[in-house]
Structures are given as C-alpha cells and as structure tokens.
Structure 1
Amino acid sequence: MSKPKVLISDKMDPNAARIFEERGCDVDVITGETPEELATRIGEYDGLAIRSSTKVTPAILDAATNLKVIGRAGIGVDNVDIPYASSKGVVVMNTPFGNSITTAEHAIAMIMALARQIPEANARTQAGEWPKSAFMGVEVTGKTLGLIGAGNIGSIVASRALGLKMKVVAYDPFLTEERAIELGVEKVDLDTLLSRADFVSLHTPLTDQTRNILSRERLENAKPGIRIVNCARGGLIDEAALKDLLESGQVAAAALDVFEQEPPASDHPLFSAPNFICTPHLGASTTEAQVNVALQVAEQMADYLVNGGVTNALNMPSLSAEEAPKLKPYMGLAEKLGSLVGQLAHGNLEKISIEREGHAAELNGKPITGAVLAGLMKCYSDTVNMVNAPYLAKERGMEVREVRNSHEGVYHTLVRVTVDTSQGPRSVAGTLFGNSAPRLVEIFGIGIEADLDGHMLYIVNEDAPGFIGRIGSLLGENGINIGNFNLGRRDAGGEAILLLSVDQPISADVIKQACALEGVKVVKALEF
C-alpha cells in the first residue's frame, strides 16, 4: 500500500515535514508557486498543508482529484473555500490552539500601548523631541475590559486582564453562566458591554452575524472615551466609522492588528487618524506559535491520512485516533445501511432518522450519521464521502434526525435507519457480530439476517411453496451462481423477502425474468 502524499505549499517550520515522514507520509515542500503552477501539481497529493499565502480556490480544488485533507497551520481559513471543499469531499482542518497564547499576549500588549501611547511617544522621542507633557496616559488597574468573544483566546485575555487587576465583562452567545463564573468574568449583552467598558478587545470569528459588529451606531452609543483593540479578524469593525469617531474623540484610541483588506492601502484613512496604532497581522507571530501550529497541523493531517483520526476539522465531526478503530466497524455498518435504504426507497427522500441503540448509543454519533449519509447519497453522486454527504443532503433539503437509545434490546448494539417515503416510513436495521462484522437484521419490519456485500438480488414475494426453487432455477439457467441465500417473512403465507448474494452483476434481462415469476412483487439488483 502506497504512503499518503502531502504537499507543504507555504513556508512553515521544517519539523512539520519530519513529523509527516515519521508518521508514514511522503512529503514535498514546494513554496511560492503561482495558482496555475499549484493547480498543475496538486492532483498527485492526498494532503495540502498551508498557511495564509496559498489560496485554495474552486479552481485548485477541481484540479485536486486525489485530495483528502487541507491543513491550515493557524486559526484563520479565509484563504480556503470551505463550502466548495466540502462539496468535493475534502476535510479542512486548522490549528485553533497553537497560537492562542501568542495572540492573547499581543492583545494585552496593544491594551498597554493604547493606555500609555507608547508608539507615538517612542517615535517623537527618537525624532529628537522630549514631549513629556504631551502624553498623559491612563492606568489599566481598576478599568473595565469588555471582551467580545470569550472562547479560547478571549478566555486567556480575560485571565491576563484579571491579573492586571482589571474588571472583565464578556459578550458571547455561547458563554454559559457557569463558564463565566469559572473565568471570573461577568456575562452581559453587547450594548451593556459597550456602555460600561473602558477597553474593548475582540476575539470572535468573522461571520455574517459578526461582520461590522462594532458598527457606527454601536460605536456612537458606546461609553465616551472607549479604547478598542482588534487582534481577531478584519471586518469586525466599521473602519470608516472608527476614523470619524477617533477624530471626534468618542473613541479615545484604537489598535488594530487586522484590517478588512490586507494589506491595507498605503493611504488607508485610519493611518491619518489620531491615537491610532496598527501592526501587520502579528497576532500569531512568535517563534513559539509558528513552531506549534506547524507541528500540530502535521500531526493532525498525518493522523487523518494514516489512522482516520479527525481533529479540529471545520467541515466534519471530530474523531480521535483512539476512537477511529472502535468506530470503524460501526461506520462500515452505517454506510451499508444507508446504501441499502437509498437503493430500495423510492422518490424524493425528505427525512431520515438514524437511531443508535445499546452499545452504539455510547459512541460518538456524528461519524455514524456521516457514514449513513455517505451510503445513502451514493444514489445521487459517485464521488460522495463522509465529508460531502451532509452537504449534499442539506443541498437537497433533507432533514436529518439523530436518536440515541441507551437501553439494550434484542441485540447488544443496533443501528436503525428510517426514511420517509411516499409509501410511508421505510426502516432497515443492523448490528455487529463479534463487535466487528456488519450484519443486516431487519428490513422494512421483516426480520432477516444477511451480509451486505458485493452483488445482491432483493426480491419481495408472496410466501408460497415452490418459489425458492423457481428463482434458483431461473438464476441457474442464466449462469448466475448463488453465494448466500437469506429469507425473511412477516407471517406464513404473507409477504416475504429474499436477499441473494451472487457472484456477478444482475442484468436488466434477468430482473425482467424474475419480475415475471408468479407471486413476485418487487425485484431489484443491489450493489455494495
């Protein structure tokens, strides 16, 4: 089996390449290529490790015919078209924790620089002035810091600010009261934060909901003399409004490490604004952080390519390298059940329910759901996998429901897949024999045990004497060898199901002959 092949297309710590090699990958380090050069090369790689320079566009992804994972050494993934990557079945990972301390420390440094006007004082002193009376700063002790975003980086900033004897209030829709108490901060709404904060520091991603979260209106209604720091993402602040309010004094000072457009134009309006400090996106720029994110992205990508572990993925549920071996047989079962129901159910499938029972209920359910959808969506796409299957299901308006039942029924572990069809709900269920071998145990309410593998023939017929002989004779006459014979029925003389495993594909002509047999209701060829 050949090793996964990885391309490192941006400059990063050389130890990243060593980690890829130690963990079973072949790696090439080729940086500084044009998009056209990268598009020509990328088709031979399973993994792409990047920083901020490489732009992973639809054109690149279209050319990346073997690509399975993109790893961003850092937190921001603005340079990756994640929806398109998802539609192509490519996992996108980042390293959100490798530069957390570095970015938090930069925010604290910006706060101190604003409080004491250090950059301007330095520039004028080095220019030969001694402008002692021109700079009257403020203490941070006892001041209120407002955090917009109290996640990983925001929580570190809170800790450092509390160490400086500041009071901290935080706005974050995902911050619980318990977590706020643990951090030592007060949870407030955004308007309250802006009315009380002496300093504001932003630590939130850029989304449709957070774009211009500090709008002109909000800044105009903020506490007069507020000081603002943004070491998160450009676009969170209305930059034109910030310039005007710095000039009016409503905003006393501002420090930006990020801009809406980077690099900003040399005549950016904020560059002429009073009490304005900026740095060229240095939040993650320390030796320690650059080493950390490079090593982390290599470890994460290698774990995925070699062991199936998924860490810090932005478009797929996390799956640790330890979980992967335990979940692998369940994911195999789930994909087969999804494929079965997809091949048998007719019409537009609008709703699907995935139920886990017994031991299966104790496991990470997201990968199991992804595997079911991957099997099901093969009816719609021949390039579907666990990454793009949820995307394809959502694109088709499919409602996905997950149910977890911890009780153990007839089987110690069970996965059931139910879809709503024009004929009503249709359900299939399976278990694992010996905790490893996937086995179908129920189909449309009829108990039947079967391996789902290879070429199969599915028949619904009236339970009557002689039918098995007739179908056996028909297949024999057509030179089709039967591997396994699996039967189930609702009751004697009622509806019965026959699942046959055969050694070659079933032709349309054989299907037609089978449909003509007495008592046959449905005949369908299946492939697994």
Structure 2
Amino acid sequence: MAPKVLVSDKLSETAVQIFRDRGVEVDYLPDLGKDKEKLLEVIGQYDGLAIRSATKVTEKILAAATNLKVIGRAGIGVDNVDIPAASKKGVIVMNTPFGNSVTTAEHAIAMMFAVARQLPEASASTHEGKWEKNRFMGVELFNKTLGVIGAGNIGGIVCDRALGLKMKVIAYDPFLSDERAHKMGVMKVELDELLAKADFITLHVPMTEKTKNILSRENLAKTKNGVRIINCARGGLIDEEALVDALKSGHVAGAALDVFANEPATESPLFNMPNVVVTPHLGASTTEAQENVALQVAEQMSDYLLTGAVQNALNMPSVTAEEAAVMGPWVKLAGHLGDFVGQMTDEPIQAINILYDGLVTEMNLQALNCAAIAGIMKAANPDVNMVSAPVIARERGVQIATTTQEKSGVFDGYMKLTVVTETRERSVAGTVFSDGKPRFIQIKGINIDAEVGQHMLYTTNRDVPGIIGTLGGTLGKHGVNIANFTLGRTAVGQDAIAVLYLDAPLPQVVVDELKATGLFLQVKPLEFDAA
C-alpha cells in the first residue's frame, strides 16, 4: 500500500505533484490546519504530515496520529511542532533549513538600502504630493563599514553581497575561524570592536540565552555615533526600549526591523519614528523561497516514506532504519560528548577530532560525526540538527578529522571527542554499557565512570581534602539532590575533577557559593537533553 500524506497548510501545486509523481498518495487540504478538531479527527489516516506555520502539531494531535511516521515543515522554524512529543512517539520531524537563506539575506540588504536613503518616508511624502527633496538626505553604502553579527549561512551571504557593494565588512561570530574569515574577505573582530567601528550593523544569529539582547542598552552605547541597525533575524536580539531612546537622542541614526520581541507586532514605540523602517517578518517571503522550501519538504518526505532515507531531521540522525536500532545509544552518546565540549568552549573552534575504538568503528561513522558536531554547535545555535551541523562547521572553517583504531583497553568500543581552539585542546571520551546508557569515561585525560543525566555539575580542582564535603554540603543546603557523584584525578595532590548528576537544575547561588570557597578552579553547570 502506498504511503499517504496530508498537506494541511498552503503548499505549491508543484510540491503536491512531487508526492504523486513519487508514488505517494496525498490529500491537499490547505485550510485543515486551522481546524484543530477536524485535524484531530483525520490525522490517524496518514503516514506523513506536510505543514507550514498554521498547523499546530501538539501532543494531543500526535497521540491521535496512530500511523504518523514523519512531519515535514516547509521552512526552518518548528515552533508549531511539539518535537519532544514527536520523538517519544517515534515520529521524525524534518525542516528545510537552507531553502530561504538567499531571500532573507536579500531582505537585509534591501532594508539597509531603505534606511540609508529613508526610502519609505520619502515615498510616502511624494505620494502625498509633497516634493521634499532637501528633507531626505541619505548616506552612501560605498566605503562604509558593515558589522555583521553572525557570519553563518545567511550572514555569510550578506557579507558577500555587501562586498559587492564595495563596503568594508567586519564580522563577529564565536565560531568563525581566521581562515574562513580570510576566505570570505571579511575581518573577524570581537563584538566591542564591531560596535565601535561599524556604520551599519546587521544581525544574523539565532535567539539564545547568549544572544538575547546582544544589542543591549550597554552595547548600543558602545556603537558609533550615527550608526544604522538592521535586524532580519529574530526578535529579542535588540533591547527595543533602549533602541527607541538611542534613536530619540540621535546616537542611532536609523533602524530597519523585520522582527520584534513580540509578534505579531501590532503596536510598538518604534512605529512611526523618523527613519525607522519596519516590515512584518518578511525575511523568507518571496515566491522563490516559498517554492524552494515546499519542493524540498516534498522530496525529503517522499524519500523517507519510500526508501527510509532521512534528511534534515531535527530529532534523528541520517541513518537507515536497520542502523538506527543498533546505533541509537551511540548516537545519543555522540550528542552528549559534543554537548559537553560545546558548553565548555567559548573560543572559536578550529578543529574537531573524533576517535572511534573497537566495535563502534563498524557503525555509520558519518551519522555519529553529525551527532557529535550537532552537540558541539548546539550551544551557539539551538536550531542546528545532525544534517546542518557539518555544513555550519565547514562554513566556519572548522577542520573535522575522524580516526579509527582496533579495540584497546577494557571497553569493547568507545568514542573520544577533541575540540581544538587557538589556546587549548579539550577532550572527552565515552562509551555505551550493556544497559544502553551512555557514560563519560574520560575527561581531560582523567579516567572516570560518570552516568550522563539531564542536569549535571562539572568541577575542577587540586586534589586536596574537603572537596566532597564542600560539594555535598553546599548542594544539600540548597536542596539540590545528587543522583550520582564521580571523582577522578591524575595523581595524589594533582589535578582532579568531579562530575555530579543532579535531580534538578543547579541554582546560580550554589555556583557562586562554590566559587567563593576558593577550592575550585572551575564550576560549570551543564544541561543535556532528557533521555
């Protein structure tokens, strides 16, 4: 029997035809996604669900989706899909992360032109029959300095287009290597230098705890007088109240915003301000982009339903169904190893080296590599998946090397992940025990046996008396229960580490108290995906 797909949002007829041409039965009901009760009633009939943003795939919908195998989102955002619930149900969630990159980059360039020449206000004035030629005095882009915050896929395209306009381009991106920056023709700088030098600043980073209000009141004050700011990435990257004040004072000469902290933004103090250009989140809204992502999602879903091939999955590596059963725990381990070094590393990464030992060398190493790299990159980009992670790493000039070796030591197989930055190397090794649970077996060259949990604490110190008591006493005082406690050291009185698996997230007050003792060289709370 042919697999059956429901398209519950508006998708192009060409995309719908791809399903039919590939031998997939398809029901095109573009308004069904807005009718939750009707969707709940019929979803059990389908193997696949193709959506845009209108359909909300909730836990309740997934519970009724008794035959559903794959959800395909035409576009990058999957806020309308309960991914943990889908994973628990065994449903793959795919997106199309690169289908609208050019469109979004072009919108940023268009917004830069608009704010440089005050085009919307000049157009409105002329439509009113005025001829205010002297009122709208713009600035050239030629020879101006563009500061690009986030030089990944979309930011990289913006850099390329800006260089074509003969602008000087500087970029801030923690994952951008010197080699990659040189190849792109841009100058890599720290954030403070970018703020001080840029005539125009454009944002192209995801919304994370690290990037929230990256243009804060404090950072806006560091910018060049007369700077113009463009944001076509995510709302919340700019402190909007601080931006209003900077515009009123004249320190910021203009702003062009496609995104807002709260959307839909039907009111904002930024609206109707002089030389503030605003659009309703149009970054991906071109005919070509919408067609591209629709065609891509139809191809990806058809491939999976007909052959088992997985592309751009957010909750599963690119492996066959046969491999998945064997590799599942190792894929999880690879992600945990990457997540560990990703959370521990703040410098630009130059290289990622992955060593496979023993039985693991016979598995799909490309998928394991993808899982490890995705874990590393997730700290800076939560939207990353196992398919896009290697692409993002390559864009940033990160060198990736894989080594295999025959069984050595006491384990039937293990993985060791090493990240190289300009100043140091950081490594962690792990294995999967017979219970199927990942374990950390070595950190910083120190042998341990640490079970991986959702909430963890990692500390480093000199091997001196009192460490266990201090950790246990401080956590106990604040009601944080320890599920597992692992210690390791290089030698008596030398370097030592502790890895604690906790029942709850670690409050900042505990971190501060531990640091204040002076016993620890490092106190780092860690968070991992739930099992």
Q: TM-score range by the shorter chain?
A: 0.5 to 0.7
Give the Å deviation of 1:331.
4.3
SS across alignment from 2:209: coil
Determine whether 1:5 maps to 2:8: no
Change (3 A) 1:365 1:264: closer
Show the counterpart of 1:153: 154
Q: Would the aligned equivalents of 1:354 and 1:369 in 2 still touch at CA under 8 Å?
A: no
Q: Which amino acid aligns with 1:42?
A: I
SS of structure 2 residue aligned to 1:364: helix
CA contact (8 A) 2:323 2:364 kept: no
- What is the match of residue 69 of structure 1? 70
How far 1:236 moved relative to its partner? 1.7
**Which amino acid is the alignment partner of residue 302 of structure 1?**
S
- Counterpart of 2:143? 142
Note if 1:87 corresponds to 2:88. yes
- Structure 1 contact 358–408 (Cα < 8 Å) conserved: no
- CA shift at 1:415, angstroms? 6.7
User: What's the offset of the Cα at 1:246?
Assistant: 1.4
Amino acid at match of 1:79: N
* TM-score, normalising length: structure 1: 0.63
- 1:281 aligns with 281
Partner of 1:310: 310
Offset at 1:86? 2.8
Alignment-derived partner of residue 431 in structure 1: none
Please state whether the residue corresponding to 1:15 is helix, strand or coil: helix
Name 2:44's counterpart in structure 1. Answer: 43
The aligned counterpart of 2:404 is 406
- Does residue 33 of structure 2 align to residue 31 of structure 1? no
Per the TM alignment, residue 404 of structure 1 is displaced from its structure 2 partner at its CA by: 7.6
Work out the CA distance in 2 between the residues paired with 1:286 and 1:217.
Answer: 36
2:391 corresponds in structure 1 to none
Distance 1:81-1:204 versus aligned 2 partners, 3 A rule: farther
- With over 3 angstroms needed to count, the CA separation of the structure-2 counterparts of 1:35 and 1:330, relative to structure 1, is closer
Distance 1:99 1:365 in 2: 25
Q: Hey, what's the Cα distance between the residues in 2 that align with 1:358 and 1:83?
A: 27
Partners of 1:39 and 1:60 within 8 A in 2 = yes
Identify which of 351, 363, 366 aligns with 2:365: 363
Provide the C-alpha distance between the structure 1 equivalents of 2:360 and 2:259, rounded to a whole number of angstroms: 50
Deviation at 1:61, TM superposition (A): 2.6
Change (3 A) 1:177 1:337: closer
> Residue 361 and residue 55 in structure 1: after superposition, are their counterparts in 2 closer, same or farther (change >3 A)?
closer
CA contact (8 A) 2:143 2:167 kept: yes
Secondary structure, in 3 states, of the residue corresponding to 1:235?
Answer: coil
Contact 1:6 1:49 in 2 (8 A): yes
Q: Aligned partners of 2:106 and 2:371: how far apart in 1? A: 40
Conserved 8 A contact 2:6-2:50: yes
8 Å CA contact retained: 1:256, 1:279: yes
Between 1:182-191 and 1:159-168, the stretch displaced more is 182-191
Distance in 1 between the 2:8 and 2:20 partners?
16
Contact kept, 8 Å, 2:195 with 2:224, in 1: the verdict is: yes
Instruction: Return the alpha-carbon distance in structure 1 between the equivalents of residues 58 and 261 of structure 2.
Output: 19
The count of aligned residue pairs is 365
- Percent identity, aligned pairs only, is 60
Partners of 2:279 and 2:224 in 1: how far apart? 25
Does structure 2 retain, via aligned residues, the 8 Å contact 1:149–1:170? yes
Q: Structure 2: any 5+ residue segments left out of the alignment?
A: 332-354, 373-384, 386-400, 415-430, 440-531
SS, match of residue 147 in structure 1: strand
Q: Does the CA-based 8 Å contact 2:358-2:407 persist in structure 1?
A: no
Structure 1 residues 367 and 162 mapped into 2: Cα distance closer, same or farther (>3 Å)?
A: closer
Question: How many angstroms does 1:91 deviate by?
Answer: 2.0
Q: Which residues in structure 2 correspond to 1:238-257 (within 5 Å)?
A: 238-257=239-258
Q: 1:451-492: CA deviations, max 9, x gaps?
A: xxxxxxxxxxxxxxxxxxxxxxxxxxxxxxxxxxxxxxxxxx
Give the residue type in structure 2 aligned to 1:20. Answer: F
C-alpha distance 170-334 of structure 1, shift in aligned 2 (>3 A): closer
Structure 2 counterpart of 1:419, from 424, 433, 451: 433
What's 2:487 paired with? none
Q: Secondary structure at the match of 2:295?
A: helix
In the other structure, the counterpart of 1:297 is 297
| Structure 2 contact 327–363 (Cα < 8 Å) conserved | no
Give the Cα–Cα distance (whole angstroms) in 2 for the partners of residues 123 and 418 of structure 1: 65
1:53 is matched with 54
Quote the offset at 1:135 in angstroms: 0.9
Does 1:270 find its partner at 2:284?
Answer: no
TM-score (norm 2): 0.63
Q: Is the Cα–Cα contact under 8 Å of residues 246 and 252 in structure 1 kept in the other structure?
A: yes
Match of 1:192 in 2: 193
CA contact (8 A) 1:233 1:259 kept: yes
Deviations 1:37-87 (A, max 9, x none): 222222222222111222223332333233222211112222223333333
Q: 1:357, 1:404 within 8 Å by CA — same for their partners in 2? A: no
Deviations 1:255-299 (A, max 9, x none): 11122222212x322113221111122212221111111000111
Structure 1 residue aligned with 2:176: 175
Shift of residue 318, structure 1, vs aligned partner:
3.3
